[in-house]
Chain A
Amino acid sequence: MKINKEKLIELLVDKTNMEKVEVEEQLQQLIQRIVDAAERGKALEIKEFGLFYFNESGDLTFDPSKELSTEINFKYAGMEPVELKPPRDSASGDAVAATDEKEEPTSKTTKPAEESKPESDTDEDDEGLDDIFGLDDMDEDDEEITAEEPEEEPVSKRPFETPADKVDREDDPFSGLLGDASSKLSASDKGFKEESSDSDDDEVPPFPFIKDSKKDKGTEEPVDKSTEKVPEKSSPKTPKKSSPKVPVKVEKAPAPKAQKTAKPKTSSKPRRDPVMVVISVVLVFVLVAAAFFVIPGLLEESEPVEAPVETPAEEPLPPTEADATNVLEPVEPDEEITVEEELVEEALYGLLGELVDDANDGFSIVLHSFRQEDVARIKAAELAADGFRVLVSERTVQGQTVWRVSVGQFPTIAEAQERAGDLPSPYNTDNFIQRIQTN
């Protein structure tokens, strides 16, 4: 259908309730202003619409704004260029978005392997990547764990940084620790240390054994107890239950110490310092325990994607439409979980809950379109009763005013489309996305 200037003016009159003459005049002014600005070599921008300017060859050009072009292209939202063949030469770097996306995750996974000092930025990686590269999650977890540790006590690491110094300095850090723990222990420990430093023969062999058995089988009782408790409560109980020498060290090393040994661990084994061995073993268990805490968290993250797909059809919802075998429930858990994950993002945008004014720069899923406002309001109330964020917006379609009932507020069209698929039966296929307009 063609809209010529005359028709356009009609539409504008409807929209603005201004007199036709006035609209014509205003339109003429606007056009004049666009051209004038362009003549002056400037671009006139109509916000959320586009940019008018003269291009290099002197033709008036219009660049649609991002909002407009994404809205028009909503059918294909989220489709990215895909690289079919890589460039012949290995000049991989700068090219296209599609490849960039693929490169990111790999680089993330490789970096940690090289450097064990994670900056812990991995947390907030794109969900998409996490979903796709499930295995990488595991790697990242480990990194995160190690990442947490250095944060806790970066300073204490230093004495151990160079393996050569380690032996010499051992006395210092531990004596300090002993002092902290208790005076009695310190006394006994000092005696022990002297032994260890002076006569390696006696002390060294037993501890490596302990270490080995722990690592391999985890059978040694005293050590197990101590390690179990370490994650929960670091200091108090461990020493009593286990033999004097070993436990004392465990106690000293609880949380903070364990991290120090992260690096030295490998180097200490060859030296067979009993202290280091015990600490390293404790560290291993702490890591494992920490992994248990972190991993479930990640599992939760991945669930929301699957959950809504599996669960539909459990609870039919009465209100919406005749055909509807509506399922609101599957969506809700999804929502709740994501809320926990990204408080800011989800609080702002989402399918369910209350409308958020700040989220009105986003997109919404249109489910109904009515000629009459009151009908639209009724339907909106029904949907709101089901827990959706409902918007009613007035639009003019082919000269007729319609009232669109839409649900949800989403930052991107792609996200809106994704969530639209989770909607109950008639809606998940019969909908479209529109940009939210508040005025």
Chain B
Amino acid sequence: MKSTFIKAFKEVLREQILNKNRVEIEDLGIFEVVHRKQHQKKYENGRVVMIPPADVVEFQSKVRSSNEN
């Protein structure tokens, strides 16, 4: 496998993800940017923390480990 390819691969994926595009690669999974709203996180000890909003990458895959099946 060529290193230039890997480099190109990650750059293309990065660009697409950054553009909020949903990248679906069969055999691998789906990359998607998801927005997490600001929310309050409440701890059991009464502590409350405001978590800021965030954009995160989510990856869903149908590929499962064959060891477990």
Q: What does DSSP make chain A's interface, helix, strand, loop or mixed?
A: mixed
CB-based contact A27/B9 at 8 Å: yes
Per-residue contact bits, chain B 30-69, to A (CB 8 Å; 1 contact, 0 not): 0101000000110101111111111111010101111111
CB-based contact A60/B29 at 8 Å: yes
Give Cα A12 to B15, complex, Å.
12
Interface locus among A238-246, A265-273, A394-402, A408-416: A394-402
Which of B19, B53, B56 lies in contact with A69, CB distance below 8 A? Answer: B56
Give Cα A28 to B2, complex, Å.
12
Give Cα A89 to B10, complex, Å.
47
Interface locus among A31-39, A189-197, A298-306, A322-330: A31-39
Q: What does DSSP make chain B's interface, helix, strand, loop or mixed?
A: mixed
Give Cα A308 to B57, complex, Å.
36
Give Cα A11 to B11, complex, Å.
10
CB-based contact A5/B64 at 8 Å: no
- Chain B residues with CB under 8 Å of A8's CB are 12-13, 16, 23, 25
CB-based contact B8/A16 at 8 Å: yes
Is the C-beta of A164 less than 8 angstroms from some C-beta in chain B? no
Is the C-beta of A23 less than 8 angstroms from some C-beta in chain B? yes
What residue in chain B is nearest A88 (Cβ atoms)? B46
What residue in chain A is nearest B1 (Cβ atoms)? A29
- Point out residues on A near B: beta carbons under 8 Å: 1-5, 8, 11-12, 15-16, 18, 23, 26-31, 33-35, 38-39, 46-50, 54, 58-62, 64, 68-69, 71-73, 75-76, 79-89, 91, 95-96, 98, 395-398, 437, 439
A-B contact pairs, 8 of them (CB 8 A): A5-B24, A28-B27, A47-B10, A59-B64, A60-B59, A62-B57, A69-B56, A396-B12
